[in-house]
Amino acid sequence: MLRRVFTVPQKWHVYQKEFFHEIDNLGISSLPIIAIISLFMGAVITIQAAFGFTSAWVPLYAIGYTTRDSVILEFSPTIISLILAGKVGSNIASEIGTMRITEQIDALEIMGVNSRSFLILPKIAACMLINPFLIIMSMFLGIAGGWLLGTLAGVVSTYQYVYGIQYQFNSFNITYALIKTVVFAFIISSVSAYHGYYTEGGALEVGKSSTRAVVYCSILILIFNFILTQLLLS
């Protein structure tokens, strides 16, 4: 299927229009949910870190340090990608699946359009481009949420938290997170599109395709998370 997806677009400006539509549909529309989850998860990580560091030997700036690394290394790239697998993956699978059962894909084929490329390529490109921005935003909001609720709850001061998030900062962690994000974005868009494209039957099967897409995406994200971590960090 991917061989037919990655072909030269039949008309660049039509594909370009679809690409920007997908940026909005798959990326911009995910902003609110990612913002809310990131803020609260960052806050919870901070409070849990403060709860765990009861020893007098552990400095309070370790709370900021722990929150930063948890958010950058794992929470934002992996957990947010898993959430996007649910939201974006089911959206892609059900949209393409519905087009399949209502003969819209047949209509494209009859017109002479390479339906795989036209429907799937803009989605893959949009996800791979917009997801890193979403994840960077999630990192900022996660760390900001930790600071906001950590200081409000009185578990850490602003000075200690900011010192912690600056302490021994390794910029490769960001690169590692973004590499993971791009790979996960490809998995989410391509696997979901595959399940949607090969839907057969009616509305019930569209629902099943959508569920299958989310399950497969989640499993593949976890497997590739392990593989990429081994490759990049060990």
Partner 1 sequence: MIELKNINKSFNGRHVTQNFSCQFERGKTNLIIGESGSGKTVLLKCIVGLTEPDTGEVLYDGKDALKMGAKEKQNLRKEIGMLFQGGALFDSKTVEENITFPLAMFTNMTEKEQKERADFCLSRVNLKDAGNLYPSELSGGMKKRVAIARAIAPNPKYLFCDEPNSGLDPKTSILIDKLIKEITDEFQMTTIVITHDMNSVMEIGEKVVFICNNQKWWEGSNKTILNTENKELQDFIYVSKFLRELKEKSQG
Q: Interface with partner 1 by CB under 8 A: which residues?
A: 10-11, 13-14, 21, 98-99, 102-104, 106-107, 109-113
Q: Residues 6 or more apart from 136 whose CB is under 8 A from it?
A: 178
Nearer to partner 1, 28 or 110 (CB): 110
Provide the minimum distance between the beta carbon of 129 and partner 1 in the complex, in angstroms, as a whole number: 20
CB of 107 to partner 1, least distance (A): 4
What the block records as the tokens of 91 is 């959206």
How far apart (Å, rounded) are the C-alpha atoms in residues 152 and 50? 13
Query: At its nearest, how many Å lie between partner 1 and the CB of residue 125?
Result: 17
Q: Strand, helix or coil at 167? A: coil
Distance CA 22, CA 24 (A): 5
Nearer to partner 1, 9 or 59 (CB): 9
Shortest distance, CB of residue 161 to partner 1, whole angstroms? 45
- Identity of the residue, 110 or 233, whose beta carbon is nearer to partner 1 in the bound complex: 110
Q: d(Cα 220, Cα 230) in Å, to the nearest integer?
A: 15
* Residue for token pair 């898993």: 82
Both ends of the chain: CA-CA distance in Å?
34
Does residue 91 contact residue 217 with C-beta atoms inside 8 Å?
no
**Crossing angle of the two packed helices 115-153 and 61-69, in degrees rounded to 10:** 170
Q: What is the Cα 157 distance to its own chain's centre?
A: 31
Q: 68 or 123: whose CB is closer to partner 1?
A: 123
Do residues 10 and 122 make contact, with C-beta atoms less than 8 angstroms apart?
A: no
Q: What is the nearest approach in angstroms of partner 1 to the Cβ of residue 99? A: 8
Nearer residue to partner 1 within complex by CB, 56 or 111: 111
Q: Cβ of residue 196: shortest distance to partner 1, in angstroms? A: 14
Q: Which is nearer to partner 1, 127 or 141 (CB)?
A: 127
